[in-house]
Amino acid sequence: MNILVLGSGGREHTFAYKIAQSELCDTLFVAPGNAGTAAIATNVSIGVTDFSAIKELVLKENIKMVVVGPEDPLVQGISDFFASDDQLKDVIVIGPSKEGAQLEGSKEYAKEFLFRHHIPTAAYQSFTAETVDQGKQFLETLTAPYVLKADGLAAGKGVLILQDIEEAKNELENMLTNKKFGAASEKVVIEEFLDGIELSVFVLTDGKNYVTLPTAKDYKRIGEGDTGLNTGGMGAISPVPFVDDIFMGKIENQIIKPTVDGLAKENIDYKGFIFIGLIKVGDDPKVIEYNVRMGDPETEAVLPRVKTDLVQLFQHVGSQSLDEVTLQLDERSATTIMTVSGGYPEAYEKGKEITGINSISESIVFHAGTKLNEDKIVTNGGRVIAVTSFDQDFRKALKKSYQSIEKLHFDKMYYRKDLGFDL
Ligand code: AMP
Ligand code: GLY
């Protein structure tokens, strides 16, 4: 079967890497892809939300499966676009319907869903420009720190955690009245602050059944010791060492099952990944957020541990028969470390030549922001290359990744040297 992966990051290179290994895959396309996907698939220069160009490609190349990497096309309804088109309706799309994608597209929608299904999460209320005064009064009833979340997609920047009540009130005003995050902050969710350690679980569901993929922990801040600005993610470790069977049982029973059952009960068409951001408060898991896709860079640590054929898994998603699958996993730990362009997540330069990739043999190299410039590989984004390694012991796996990274060079390359410091 011919398969298309949508996206251009490390996550999509990892999807392509796994799919290319499957005997079920004939020709693999990635749109738009990067220099890493170009080496194992055919890159097509089409944007991930250009549905009509995607349709044309799918028909021309007889593509039967589309794996959607990022959230934007999902929130814009790519699954519904395929399902409602006579020529496309038999193509398997890995990614939920527009309705399902609201779990990520609207914080309020997600909170209402969580409460409807009695899934543990922080208490909250939501406010609009009309109710900004009530919002300020609500803040008065809470204790610091104050958590303000823009309702809509804000490129990972829409969450503010503030210590000072006056600052929290001002920011609420900024978000609602002055549209600090544009349309995304026309509504704001104010949440109880949860104190604990974060982790993520990943689920692949066909809308009825599901398989639980390995857990992972990512490192979001740019600076060592989890300091400085938020990024898309500077590295990830899978599995999360502090998750034992008892805690995993709680996650399964209190969070994963009610989530999948809730989607089924509400007839929400959901065939794809659910990435559940959790916080361990005391001994109990609580949901911080849903994402309707895999995480990046979590994918670079999670998917290499999945031994079951990925295309076969996706076929079971398409035929709603995931209950027939037992997931085979590599029991070793996988760690991925992201190298980034100097300056990221603020302004950075692109087009720097990357060398040393071919001298890395102990780790897997996943490209994120890279592209081909004639016969050179050059930087093309903030996050540039992720380096994944395996070992029984996650600290040894990290060491391998760090040794491999030393072989890699580009001008102003930066990476965090302290991953795992908190474990
Ligand atoms: P979100 O986009 O909802 O995942 O929020 C971004 C980050 O803000 C999370 O990864 C957490 O570190 C933090 N965060 C969000 N909600 C809360 C909360 N209720 N309590 C504490 N931290 C939170
Ligand atoms: N690494 C976090 C995310 O993909 O949203």
Give the tens place of pLDDT for each residue, 116-138. 999 999 999 999 999 999 999 99
pLDDT of 5 above 90: yes
pLDDT of 369 above 80: yes
- What is the chain's mean pLDDT, rounded? 96
What is the Rg, in whole angstroms, of the alpha carbon atoms belonging to the chain? 21
Question: CA 165, CA 158: separation in Å to the nearest integer?
Answer: 18
**289, 292, 293, 296: which to mutate for ligand 1, most atoms within 8 A of CB?**
289
Domain boundaries, the chain: 2-98, 123-191
Percentage of residues of the chain with pLDDT beyond 70:
100
Is residue 104 a contact partner of residue 75, using CB atoms and an 8 Å limit?
Answer: yes
Question: Ligand 1 pocket: which residues have CB below 6 Å?
Answer: 122, 147, 149, 159, 191, 193-194, 198, 277, 288-289
> Spelled out in words, what is the top-level CATH class assigned to the domain 2-98?
alpha beta
pLDDT of 14 above 80: yes
pLDDT of 385: 98
pLDDT of 262 above 80: yes
Q: Is 171 in the pocket of ligand 2 (CB under 6 A)?
A: no
pLDDT of 2 above 80: yes
Please identify, by atom number, the ligand 2 atom nearest to the C-alpha of residue 295: 4
pLDDT of 179: 87
pLDDT of 156 above 80: no
CA-nearest residue for atom 3, ligand 2, is 295
pLDDT of 422 above 90: no
pLDDT of 332 above 80: yes
Q: Is 300 in the pocket of ligand 2 (CB under 6 A)?
A: no
Q: pTM (2 decimals)?
A: 0.95
pLDDT of 155 above 80: no
Q: Is 104 in the pocket of ligand 2 (CB under 6 A)?
A: no
Two domains, one topology: 2-98 and 123-191: no
Domain 123-191: CATH architecture, name and number where available:
2-Layer Sandwich (3.30)
Mean pLDDT of 206-218: 97
CA-nearest residue for atom 15, ligand 1, is 288
CA-nearest residue for atom 14, ligand 1, is 288
Confidence of residue 157 (pLDDT cuts 50, 70, 90): confident
Confidence of residue 111 (pLDDT cuts 50, 70, 90): very high
pLDDT of 94 above 80: yes
Q: Is 296 in the pocket of ligand 2 (CB under 6 A)?
A: yes
Mean pLDDT of 399-418: 97
Question: CA 419, CA 135: separation in Å to the nearest integer?
Answer: 38
11's CB contacts (< 8 A; 6+ apart) are 69, 70, 293, 294, 295, 296, 297, 299, 300
CA-nearest residue for atom 4, ligand 2, is 295
Nearest-5° Cα angle at 393, 388 to 396:
60
User: What are the tens digits of pLDDT across the range 31-86?
Assistant: 999 999 999 999 999 999 999 999 999 999 999 999 999 999 999 999 999 999 99
Chain centre to alpha carbon of residue 6: 14
pLDDT of 230: 87
Confidence of residue 409 (pLDDT cuts 50, 70, 90): very high
Please identify, by atom number, the ligand 2 atom nearest to the C-alpha of residue 233: 1
